[in-house]
Amino acid sequence: MAKKKKSEKKGKKPHKNKPTSKKYTKYSIESEKVKRAPNCPRCGPGTFLMTTPNRQYCGKCHYTEFISKK
């Protein structure tokens, strides 16, 4: 008789570590004030805008705000 492998699919999904929330990177504490990255005006608080030297961009709704420095 041929032996059957026991390590076949049994409905168990391989465990994958979830990516850690990186929201803490948007907060920085300087002395006693908490500085926060700007929120998206469309998605509301909780959705942070990605900031570049001349732009702010929301990855959720693709809202883009240009920063004009004069």
Residues that bind Zn ion (CB under 5 A): 40, 42-43, 58, 60-61, 63
Q: Closest distance between Zn ion and the C-beta of residue 11, in Å? A: 38
Nearer to Zn ion, 7 or 47 (CB): 47
28: how many CB neighbours lie within 10 A of its CB?
Answer: 11
Whose Cβ is closer to Zn ion: residue 8's or residue 43's?
43
* Minimum CB–partner distance for residue 29 and Zn ion (Å): 25
CA distances from 14 to 4, 7, 8, 17 (A): 21, 12, 12, 10
Nearer to Zn ion, 32 or 58 (CB): 58
Reference 49, options 27, 30, 64; nearest CA is: 64
